[in-house]
Amino acid sequence: MDINETIANELQIRKSQVDKTVELIDSGNTIPFIARYRKEVTGNLSDEQLRNLDQRLTYLRNLQEKKNAVIESITNQGKMTDEIKKALDLAVTQTEVDDIYRPYKQKKKTRATVAKANGLQGLADDILKQKNKQDIFEVAKDYLNENVKTVEDAIQGAEDIIAEDISDSADFRKQIKKIYYRDGKINSEAVDKDVKSPYEMYYDFSELIKTIPSHRILAINRGEKEKFLKVKLVKNDEKIIEYLQCQIIKNSSTRNEQLIDTINDSWTRLIEPSIDREIRADLKEKADKEAIKIFGKNAKQLLLGAPLKGYTVLGFDPAYRTGCKLAVIDETGKVLDTGVIYPTEPQNDIEGSKKTMINLIKKDKINVIAIGNGTASRESEQFVSVTIKELKEKDNIDVSFVIVSEAGASVYSASELATKEYPNLNVSLRGAISIARRLQDPLAEFVKIDPKAIGIGQYQHDVNQKELEDELTTVVEDAVNEVGVDINTATPSLLSYVSGINNTIANNIVAYRDENGKFTERKQLTKVPKLGKVAFEQCAGFIRVPNGKNPLEITAVHPESYDKTEKLLNNLGYKVADLLDKEKLNSLKNDLTKIDISQKAKELDIGELTLTDIISELEKPGRDPRDEMPKPILRSDVLKFDDLQIGMILKGTVRNITAFGCFVDVGVKHDGLVHISEMSDKYVKNPSEIVSVGDIVNVKVIDIDHDKQQVKLSMKQAKE
Q: What CATH number labels 3-104?
A: 1.10.10.650
Give the model confidence (pLDDT) of 661-715 as tens digits.
999 988 777 789 999 999 999 998 889 889 988 888 999 999 998 888 889 999 9
**pLDDT given at position 665:** 86
Q: Which architecture does CATH list for 313-440?
A: 2-Layer Sandwich (3.30)
Dist. CA 615–CA 609, nearest whole Å:
10
Query: pLDDT tier at 162 (50, 70, 90 boundaries)?
Result: very high
Give the model confidence (pLDDT) of 471-529 as tens digits.
888 888 999 999 999 999 888 989 999 999 999 999 999 999 999 999 999 999 999 99
The region of weakest confidence among 71-80, 251-260, 406-415, 531-540 is: 406-415
Q: What is the mean pLDDT of residues 610-621?
A: 94
Options 3.30.413.10, 3.40.1380.20, 1.10.150.530, 2.40.50.140; which CATH number does 641-719 get?
A: 2.40.50.140
Give the model confidence (pLDDT) of 195-215 as tens digits.
999 899 999 999 999 999 988
Q: Do 692 and 679 contact (CB within 8 A), yes or no?
A: no
Close Cβ partners of 31 (under 8 Å, ≥ 6 residues apart): 25, 47, 50, 51, 54, 474, 477, 478
Identity of residue 268: T
**pLDDT given at position 330:** 92
Options 2.40.440.10, 1.10.150.310, 3.30.70.100, 3.50.50.60; which CATH number does 503-628 get?
A: 1.10.150.310
Dist. CA 707–CA 221, nearest whole Å:
27
Q: How many residues does the chain have?
A: 720
Q: Which helix (H) or strand (E) element contains residue 19?
A: helix 15-26
Give the model confidence (pLDDT) of 311-329 as tens digits.
999 999 999 999 999 999 9
**pLDDT given at position 638:** 66
Q: Three-state SS for 12? A: coil
Dist. CA 304–CA 395, nearest whole Å:
36
The phi, psi pair for 651, rounded to 5°, reads: -105, 135
Is the pTM higher than 0.85? The answer reads no
Give the model confidence (pLDDT) of 524-563 as tens digits.
999 999 999 999 999 999 999 999 999 999 999 999 999 9
- Mutual angle of helices 94-101 and 170-183, in 10-degree steps: 140
Q: How far is CA 286 from CA 99, 280, 289, 351, 452, in A?
A: 19, 10, 5, 55, 19
**pLDDT given at position 457:** 66
Q: What CATH number labels 170-307?
A: 1.10.3500.10
346 cis-preceded (ω within 30 degrees of 0):
yes
Name the average pLDDT for the chain.
92
Q: For the chain, what percentages of helix, strand and coil (3-state, to nearest 5) are there?
A: 55, 10, 30
Domain ranges of the chain: 3-104, 170-307, 313-440, 503-628, 641-719
- Mutual angle of helices 237-248 and 256-265, in 10-degree steps: 140
Provide the b/e sequence for 458-484 (b: ≥16 CB within 10 Å): bbbebbeeeebeebbebbbbbbbbbbb
Dist. CA 161–CA 127, nearest whole Å:
11
**pLDDT given at position 720:** 65
Q: Do 698 and 719 contact (CB within 8 A), yes or no?
A: yes
**pLDDT given at position 670:** 77
Q: Which helix (H) or strand (E) element contains residue 95?
A: helix 94-101
Query: pLDDT tier at 450 (50, 70, 90 boundaries)?
Result: confident
Identity of residue 704: I
**pLDDT given at position 128:** 93
Percentage of the chain lying above the pLDDT 70 cut:
99
Q: What is the mean pLDDT of residues 83-108?
A: 92
Dist. CA 416–CA 34, nearest whole Å:
33
Q: Three-state SS for 376? A: coil
Q: Do 148 and 251 contact (CB within 8 A), yes or no?
A: no
Q: Is the pLDDT of residue 170 over 70?
A: yes
Q: What is the mean pLDDT of residues 142-149?
A: 94
Dist. CA 83–CA 185, nearest whole Å:
34
